[in-house]
Structure 1
Amino acid sequence: MAATTTPRPRSPSAKGPLAPAERWFKARGWKPFPFQREVWDAYLAGDSGLIHAATGTGKTYAAWMGPVLEWMAEFPKGAPAKPPPPLRILWITPLRALAADTEAALLAPLTELGLPWTLQSRTGDTSAKIRSRQRTRLPTALVTTPESLALLLSRDDARTLFADLRAVIVDEWHELMGTKRGVQTELALARLRSWRPQMRTWGLSATIGNLDDAREALLGATPGRPPGRVVRGLVPKNIVVDALIPPRIERFPWAGHLGTQMLPQVVDAIEEGETAIVFTNTRSQTEIWYQALLEARPDWAGLIALHHGSLDRAKRDWVEDGLRSGKLRCVVATSSLDLGVDFSPVDRVLQIGSPKGVARLLQRAGRSGHRPGAVSRVTCVPTNVLELIEVAAARDGVEAIAVESRLPVERPLDLLAQHVVTVALGGGFLPDELLAEVRTTGAYAGLLDDEWRWVLDFVTRGGDALRAYPEFQRVVVDDETGRYLVRDKGVARRHRMSIGTIVSDASIAVQYLRGARLGTVEESFVARLNPGDRFVFAGKPLEFVRVRDMTAWVRRTTNTKGLIPRWMGARMPLSGELAASLRARLEEASRGEFRGPEMQAIRPILDVQARWSRIPRADELLIERVKTREGHHLFIFPFEGRLVHEGLAALFAYRISRLTPISFTFSMNDYGMELLSPEAAPLDAALKAGLLSAHNLLQDVPASLNATEMARRQFREIARVAGLVFQGFPHAGKSVKQLQASSGLFFDVFTRYDPGNLLVSQAHREVLERQLESSRLGRTLERLAAGNVVITNPKRTPPLAFPLLVDRTRNAVTSESVTDRVQRMKLVLEKYADTGK
């Protein structure tokens, strides 16, 4: 169990182990919070733990001052100035974009307290000169990413590099936990603890629900080691969540219909303060809103900027510096600015569209009033009027502190294979010793002996299917010592270039024919462009000229009409916590309760919904049967998020079709799904036959989908992480199509000739869990089966079903005609709504 976290009263004193920190805080006009002192005491006592506190309340210095105080206690009169101490502290950050801010924040007390430490970062943005220097000697404190740490562990002198390591601090642990990058961090920490058993580990987290799980995943389970602490920052943080209400409420809204129609209200909100961040959920939205704001306020040119991960590093640095200095009035950004250490607090934070989760909203709200005691306010801008329900539900979640949990990833064998090769490079290993080390992590605590033997066989022989190919025999066993090593320089080079778990579409540089590099876009986007096509990128209208040498060459254009890059990530699903709050809000509305301005605004929509069909209660599954000229529609509303509904739609169609031959066309959104068929589906018989049953789920879901093809695509990521395919050397990378072909070939070979291949099994498991959220899908079915099914037969499409109808229509017609067609559909429905029928 976690140690108690109730802070004890303490007053600053000029003496004692915490005195230097107290004096440094006082010189800055600050006073340490009790939780900060608690962490300092715990660190000096040799403890590890997890710090949980709101953004902007002092987590960074809570973690950092412990190592500083330890040094000052060891050298009260000062240490010799030269040489600087060897590596003592590792600071792991999930984003390399945070490294510069982190360095600046950590450097301040070092300089002002006179510590002879060196402080540097090591990420993908680190210059070749600094990297070269670090090959000889690492700084006293190193800010790095999980990938760069794994690279350090692959050096043959790795153990010597970390011989003086005292502590590892993992920033923004909630961003890593529940991902393969988090598991990669767990494995690296286990390796370091095997060398430095007294090493302390501290994690920092602002928004996570399952704190004990997070602590256990971070600290591992080393025999004889205390479980560690959870220290909660008991600093009150006032969060205000509100929304901009559209001036006109349409009773039949559809996803994205508002677009930039809310632009005047957004401009007014920005003008309320000196600085603002406008957050979006996708990079394409960032580009759209940046252009719209600039067109609405040309006088803001030079005072407004955009920020997302595809922009060039120099451009992002310029934007971040502008935020710190106050030179920029507004920045339009994606999650690339969610996190951060030393940005000046902005006056206004706006969120375009639903945040889809309480944690994400809290994280973004924290950029406003980013200092202790200040009020953090976030204003949501709906892109669909129905998103106002989500805003109201999110406010309930914030008030109830119903923050989403991050479920840990269990036993990803592709990453374990990568780690085994890394350790073999970094001095080698004995199998039993490494197995014991790996099992100290939360992710691999349940690793089976057969799974471990399979991984060893895979890295040494390539497994049963690849044993005839020497290039897959990456690790060899030394006959004299029995140690597993990497001796081939080509294998070593390829492995070091492939370390990591981030697998995405290949990046293509965007550069002027005569001029600067602007950033990168995904290869799949460039593949759709023809010479002369126009698109907006980095806030500039561009004309595509050609692609050559992994670079998309462009020129400026004055014609702003064109394509907008649509990067991945546009479909963030509704979180389970926010979905539960949304269902509760709808239940209130079903009783005639409309709390707050958002619910009052959408009352006309829900009034029509209640009149034509029903507003479902939290324990009800609403199914609407509607007949149109298109056929027979089943609109089903579990309110569980898009990914769950994608799996449910296929599952329901499969189970119904087992009763009678019938074909369906699907559409789904975060609220529900549509099943369209030429003839009426036998719904009543299907419900009696177990349509909502959670039994046989693991058999029915793969059978209802093209699960093999989905697994084949998922295998691309697994193959890359496990080292089966190589993405290529710099400036000569393989295309996504090539990688997919290579990984697809392996998938087919393993499926046919090596049916026991555990990477293929992992691909199927990840499809179920990551793409379809099968665990949540099962819980949803259990909830629906225990509740009440309400079937209505509306004469026409009700408001909640209308967005589902539009989504399917949008896929069937061209983008130029979809708006006109939707408007015609709405006019008919509005006429009936006006008559009260």
Structure 2
Amino acid sequence: MILPPEFQDWFARQGWQPHPHQLALLAATGDSLLIAPTGGGKTLAGFLPSLVELAQAARPDGYLENREGRKGLHTLYVSPLKALTADIGRNLARPVAELGLGVRVEDRTGDTGQSQRRRQRVDPPEILLTTPESLALMLSYPEAPAIFGGLRRVVLDELHALAESKRGDQLMLGLARLRQLAPGLRVTGLSATVEDPQALAGFMAGAAPVTVVEADPGPDPDIAMLPTARPAPWSGGGGHHAIPEVLAAIREARTTIIFINTRAQAELFFQALWAANDENLPIGLHHGSLAREQRARVEAAMAAGALRAVVATGSLDLGIDWGAVDLVIQVGAPKNVKRLVQRIGRANHRYNAPSKARIVPANRFEQIECVAALEAVRERDLDGDPRGPGPLDVLCQHIGLTACAAPFDADTLYAEVVTAGPYRGLTRPDFDACLDFAATGGYALRAYDRWQRLVLRGGLWQLRDPRAAKLLRMNVGTIVEAEMVKVRLRGRGGVPLGEVEEGFAASLTPGDSFLIGGRVVRMDAMREMVIEVTPDPTRQPKIAVYSGVKLAMSTQLSHRVLALIGDPARYGALPAQTREWLGLQAAVSALPEPGLLLSESFPHAGLWHFALYGFAGRNALQTLGLLLTREMEEEGLGPLGFLSTDYALLVWSLDAVRDPAPLLDRARLRAGLGDWLGGNAVMKRSFRNVATVAGLIQRNMPGQRKSGRQATFSSDILYDTLRKYDPGHLMLRITAEEAGRGLVDFGRIEEMLDRSPRREHRMLDRVSPMAAPLLLEVGRVPIRGEGRERLAQIEAEALMAEAGLEGIA
């Protein structure tokens, strides 16, 4: 395919020249993956073959007509964000209109109205913009063969982001189904930040290999730390020390996006920024827990150039094209080089225009991490971990949804599933285990009618009761979040402000104030899972903390941080006070460095403290803290509590750790992990997530929705029941695998031990410079055990002595 003259003229009228990678996709004869920098015209490149085909087929007898004589679905676009589909729809409208293509472009997401959804099932547009969840839902309807039978193209946007979660696995199973429904279908993946293009190509590939097209990466970005008059705090923070400099940067730029890693910190930073905004610069706030209407207003204002800045979380990480943005500020360490590159690319969203970004470390440790991240960006060294095999809970859900569409043959479905990249290595016994679960709930549950969903009739698996299809469709998706409670202004038709988690809502009583959407509100009442509020800007608010997993520093970035700390010759890029701090650490104790696992024991405030500089990420060191304190309890050291950061673990106890080697024995740690995980809350949380995705637990029921507490109660009962009566159950096996990779992250503990053949333990007479910031961190985990009982006895004896009552029974 070549670019037709009318398209060449259209490009010329825009003052554009087609980029080589856009023409390369037009010429591709099979599936392809485009790797191009942000602003490189990826989306237009992905749609260009479709637009050319639609222009050439705009004739009465064209192949776009389906059996009923109507034009059918030609191109399906899938993105990870609903906001991105809306943005793409706006951007496509212009070429479609100016080229006179006469085709419909519509979206199909959770925000699409019911009447339009019903119409799309019988009269789909030529171009449909959707998300993985909505695609899975559409494929579950009997009309799926008619809807997708004439499909010619699929465009997968921001593929790297989808590949990092179960949403990508769900999408690849859907893609395998589309390839069966529409033979000859061509798939194009689009991505900006990829550390391993061939691995991503394998992820999206079907039976045939994928052609990788890599565009010119463009100029190096203009990135640096934002100089601040006040030094970063020793711990915690949130970047508030840099508010004056951030405001100054906003004034100098046209439009700025300020990225914050968590929703709670975004609320706090926005409030502090607005309090210092004496010039009343228009600044917005955008994160996933704000009301859809508020997010839409911010997006529209940004698109119109009406805002000077927006404070945002990952909700604006991906692909939305706001050409007026010329500065990105990252507040807090990015934790991941790919994430930083993605966010940087939001500034100067144009090809061959360098992006400009400034970084604000929240504390002294983060200064080191930010310098290491900036070095990685300049060297174009992206981080990323290899993907594991496709998760089985997602496959269980897919099998149930397949039965909703039509009866199926198990052999045929297995052959289809293994054409999906993540499931290429799926064994038949694992597939059969998933099928058995989808049909009966598994051995321990097959006696219960509620989990008897599929039956085998005439060699085909089908729904036992067709009415179950509604329940299965209501619970489509792989995102399992905490139950949210909506927040609205009080009064009839109160304006929606957003939502907070059920646990936080339960902590509120009428009259309490809290922060949401950048404003302080007072809780008046809670009715039908809706909090009614009144603005109250004079009160000191509570902060809604969202339970999303805190971002952990990537393995590759942690290696860079460790190498930087261990090489004083590279300290020139660090602030002076940070250089002095590390120099003092070297004089008092030692510096962590590659190949060395450094630990320290020192007395402080009447207790012994043990610091381990593992640089293994927050989740892994949290798990290590739980395991080590169990072992310390067995050794009689009286552990009282611990805290973990991305860099270090700190444990306090009654007696000193003098030789950590036995505590860090790999076999002992793994044995302790198995004992600890059994009835642990972390495992129960993982089980709830797995069971919800697989369909064992339904959060959404006809006419109602289970509260988070109800769902947790149900999942805990099921977990305990299966552990007792069916310990080999598929859901327990998936849960153990999930916990080991995610919340527990034991693999990174083993990686820490493997990369540190040298061990060095220092016995100190006082807190070390590197340990001092740890003592200021929040998030301490208390340990209940013999040590706390001994401490209570010591405190009681001291009190009796102070009162002159020692020796009296």
Residue in 1 that maps onto 2:699: 727
Residue in 2 that maps onto 1:829: none
How far off is 1:705 after superposition?
Answer: 5.3
Question: Is residue 773 of structure 2 the alignment partner of residue 794 of structure 1?
Answer: no
1:401 alignment partner, SS class: coil
8 Å contact kept, 1:650–1:701: no
Residue in 1 that maps onto 2:609: 633
Bigger drift between 443-452 and 279-288 goes to 443-452
| Distance in 2 of aligned mates of 1:570 and 1:718 | 16
1:129 alignment partner, SS class: helix
Question: Is residue 37 of structure 2 the alignment partner of residue 67 of structure 1?
Answer: no
Matches within 5 A, 1:181-330: 181-220=167-206, 222=207, 225=208, 227-249=209-231, 253-257=233-237, 259-300=239-280, 303-330=282-309
| Equivalent position amino acid for 1:48 in 2 | D
How far off is 1:472 after superposition?
Answer: 1.1
1:386 alignment partner, SS class: helix
Matches within 5 A, 1:438-453: 438-453=417-432
How far off is 1:805 after superposition?
Answer: 1.6
1:720 alignment partner, SS class: helix
1:492 alignment partner, SS class: helix
| Equivalent position amino acid for 1:268 in 2 | A
8 Å contact kept, 1:81–1:116: no
Residue in 1 that maps onto 2:485: 508
How far off is 1:80 after superposition?
Answer: 11
8 Å contact kept, 1:643–1:773: yes
| Equivalent position amino acid for 1:232 in 2 | E
| Distance in 2 of aligned mates of 1:652 and 1:234 | 49
- Deviation digits for residues 105-141 of structure 1, max 9, x if unmatched? 2232222212122110000111233223213211111
8 Å contact kept, 2:238–2:331: no
Of 441, 445, 459 in structure 2, the residue corresponding to residue 466 of structure 1 is 445
Of 23, 48, 57 in structure 1, the residue corresponding to residue 40 of structure 2 is 57
After superposition, the Cα gap between the structure-2 partners of 1:317 and 1:166, relative to the gap in structure 1 and judged at 3 Å, is: same
After superposition, the Cα gap between the structure-2 partners of 1:195 and 1:77, relative to the gap in structure 1 and judged at 3 Å, is: closer
8 Å contact kept, 2:238–2:265: no
After superposition, the Cα gap between the structure-2 partners of 1:144 and 1:277, relative to the gap in structure 1 and judged at 3 Å, is: same
| Equivalent position amino acid for 1:335 in 2 | G
Residue in 2 that maps onto 1:117: 103
Residue in 2 that maps onto 1:620: 596
Matches within 5 A, 1:531-546: 531-546=510-525
- Deviation digits for residues 482-508 of structure 1, max 9, x if unmatched? 221225243111111001111111121
Question: Is residue 760 of structure 2 the alignment partner of residue 774 of structure 1?
Answer: no
- Deviation digits for residues 632-662 of structure 1, max 9, x if unmatched? 2221112222122123333444556666665
Bigger drift between 359-368 and 600-609 goes to 600-609
| Distance in 1 of aligned mates of 2:124 and 2:321 | 24
| Distance in 2 of aligned mates of 1:681 and 1:140 | 68
| Distance in 1 of aligned mates of 2:744 and 2:223 | 30
- Deviation digits for residues 90-115 of structure 1, max 9, x if unmatched? 10010112111011122322222121
Residue in 2 that maps onto 1:431: 410
- Deviation digits for residues 131-190 of structure 1, max 9, x if unmatched? 232132111111001110011011012111111101111111111113111110010001
Bigger drift between 50-59 and 437-446 goes to 437-446
| Distance in 2 of aligned mates of 1:453 and 1:811 | 42
| Equivalent position amino acid for 2:472 in 1 | H
How far off is 1:426 after superposition?
Answer: 0.9
Residue in 2 that maps onto 1:4: none
Question: Is residue 402 of structure 2 the alignment partner of residue 420 of structure 1?
Answer: no
Percent of aligned positions that are identical = 35
After superposition, the Cα gap between the structure-2 partners of 1:565 and 1:659, relative to the gap in structure 1 and judged at 3 Å, is: closer
- Provide the alpha-carbon RMSD of the alignment: 2.4
Residue in 1 that maps onto 2:619: 643
Question: Is residue 555 of structure 2 the alignment partner of residue 572 of structure 1?
Answer: no
2:704 alignment partner, SS class: coil
Matches within 5 A, 1:421-820: 421-479=400-458, 482-486=459-463, 488-514=465-491, 515-569=494-548, 571-589=550-568, 592-596=569-573, 598-654=574-630, 662-663=638-639, 665-683=641-659, 686-687=660-661, 689=662, 691-695=663-667, 698-704=670-676, 708-729=680-701, 732-784=704-756, 786=757, 788-807=758-777
| Equivalent position amino acid for 1:131 in 2 | R
Residue in 2 that maps onto 1:88: 74
| Equivalent position amino acid for 2:116 in 1 | I
| Distance in 1 of aligned mates of 2:498 and 2:239 | 26
| Distance in 2 of aligned mates of 1:244 and 1:75 | 54
- Deviation digits for residues 222-278 of structure 1, max 9, x if unmatched? 2xx2x111111114132122112342447xx53224652221111111111121111
| Distance in 2 of aligned mates of 1:525 and 1:455 | 36
8 Å contact kept, 1:210–1:406: no
| Distance in 1 of aligned mates of 2:247 and 2:166 | 40
Of 331, 339, 361 in structure 1, the residue corresponding to residue 310 of structure 2 is 331
How far off is 1:406 after superposition?
Answer: 4.8
| Equivalent position amino acid for 2:762 in 1 | T
| Distance in 1 of aligned mates of 2:80 and 2:501 | 21
After superposition, the Cα gap between the structure-2 partners of 1:507 and 1:373, relative to the gap in structure 1 and judged at 3 Å, is: same
How far off is 1:792 after superposition?
Answer: 2.5
| Equivalent position amino acid for 1:290 in 2 | F
| Equivalent position amino acid for 1:802 in 2 | A
2:498 alignment partner, SS class: strand
1:671 alignment partner, SS class: coil
How far off is 1:728 after superposition?
Answer: 3.1
8 Å contact kept, 1:178–1:406: no
| Distance in 2 of aligned mates of 1:463 and 1:707 | 21
Of 382, 386, 389 in structure 2, the residue corresponding to residue 410 of structure 1 is 389
Residue in 2 that maps onto 1:824: none
Bigger drift between 735-744 and 230-239 goes to 230-239
How far off is 1:279 after superposition?
Answer: 1.0
After superposition, the Cα gap between the structure-2 partners of 1:269 and 1:54, relative to the gap in structure 1 and judged at 3 Å, is: same
| Distance in 1 of aligned mates of 2:577 and 2:61 | 65
Question: Is residue 77 of structure 2 the alignment partner of residue 105 of structure 1?
Answer: no
8 Å contact kept, 2:133–2:476: yes
| Equivalent position amino acid for 2:470 in 1 | R
| Equivalent position amino acid for 2:262 in 1 | T
| Distance in 2 of aligned mates of 1:103 and 1:409 | 34
- Structure 2: which 5+ residue stretches go unaligned? 783-809
| Distance in 1 of aligned mates of 2:466 and 2:606 | 63
8 Å contact kept, 1:84–1:118: no
8 Å contact kept, 2:643–2:780: no
| Distance in 2 of aligned mates of 1:85 and 1:403 | 43
8 Å contact kept, 2:121–2:143: no
| Equivalent position amino acid for 2:270 in 1 | Y
